Amino acid sequence: MLRSVGLRTLHAAGRGLLWWSVGLCAMVALMVAVYPTVRDDPALNKLVKQYPEALKAFIGFGGEVDYLSAAGYLGSELFSFMVPLLLLVAAIGAGARAIAGEEEAGTLELLLSCPVSRRRLALEKVAAPVVEVVVLGTVLLLSLWGGARAVGMDVSLGHLAAATASALLLPLLYCPPALAVGAAES
């Protein structure tokens, strides 16, 4: 039996975390594999410039974005909507599952009967979903970096890290409230 509540929570989430990682890697691989075709078609950039301003704002083409550049492509295809949404879903699910999952499995009473203070239990239950989201962010960053190098995208690891870190901010903010709602419902 694991002595740490947080490690126990992470261990229980292991299979789900693995599948989330596989899904993120597959999505990145698909988007990065398409980039060489986009890069070699200047007509796409003209088409994007002709979009109405409202559509550009909705898609995430704020200002003068060069869709053919690696940063513009990744920003519009991944970081404007899909990556934050997926990380947000993962974070809310992990946060809500942290205590409500124990209640559903019938193990919350056993966990609360262990010689662990309530404060430590709460802190480790909050930390576990945060660690899950950070792990997913790391997987995303590494798959982006590997994919970008494989297809010759001109984007640095630092820029990819900055984009990934900014995409992680909202999901990390939603972990504790999701845990609180999950605990209140159980």
pTM as predicted:
0.83
Q: Which pair of tokens denotes residue 43?
A: 């007509």
In 3-state terms, what secondary structure has residue 67? coil
Q: What is the DSSP string of 100-132?
A: HHHHHHT-HHHHHTSS--HHHHHHHHHHHHHHH
Q: Which pair of tokens denotes residue 162?
A: 């900055």
pLDDT in tens, the chain (186 residues): 457 777 777 777 788 889 999 999 999 999 999 999 888 887 876 777 777 877 766 665 555 666 778 888 898 889 988 999 999 999 998 888 887 777 777 777 777 777 877 788 778 888 888 889 999 999 999 999 999 999 999 999 999 999 999 999 999 999 888 888 887 876
Closest CA to 32 of 154, 112, 147: 147
The set of residues, in sequence order, having a beta carbon less than 8 Å from that of 186 and lying 6+ positions away, is 99, 100, 102, 103, 104, 108
